[in-house]
Amino acid sequence: MRDEVRRLEQHWGRELAQVEFAVEDVPDLPADFDGPVPLGQTAPGIAGRPVRIVIFRRPTEARGSGDAELSLLVRDLLVKEIADLLGLSPESVDPSYDSPDD
């Protein structure tokens, strides 16, 4: 994840300057949660705390098979979260979004 964050910060450094990136094992879901387990989320900045983009390690690893696929999945998750945060399309944030060829 660190490499992808660095790569994206090269293009979006100013916009991401106040964003914190983190990896957590699993999301904290309510007992009555019914749906697919999220792979990531963006938590808003509250009371002087920065916006926080989190990737959930275990659900992400469960969906990726092999290092290459996992790297692409992490890239796409980060791009989607950043795009949502900035109000842009994922392809505007990173033209390689959702492309298996890189």
DSSP 8-state secondary structure symbol assigned to residue 39: S
The rounded average pLDDT for each run of 10 residues, N- to C-terminus, in the chain (102 residues) is 94 95 95 94 90 96 91 95 96 86 54
User: pTM for this one?
Assistant: 0.88
pLDDT of 89 reads 96
Q: Which amino acid is at 95?
A: P
**């904290």: which residue's tokens?**
28
The full DSSP string for 3-50 is HHHHHHHHHHHHHHTTEEEEEESS----TT--SPPPSEEEEPP-TTPP
Give the SS3 label for residue 101: coil
Reported CATH class of domain 2-93: alpha beta
What is d(CA 82, CA 99) in angstroms, rounded to the nearest whole number? 17
Number of helices followed by number of strands (H, E) in the chain: 4, 3
Q: Is 65 exposed, middle or buried (0-12, 13-18, 19+ CB in 10 A)?
A: exposed
Q: Which residues pair with 19 in a beta bridge?
A: 51
**């990726």: which residue's tokens?**
64
pLDDT of 101 reads 57
pLDDT of 47 reads 87
pLDDT of 102 reads 52
pLDDT of 27 reads 95
pLDDT of 45 reads 87
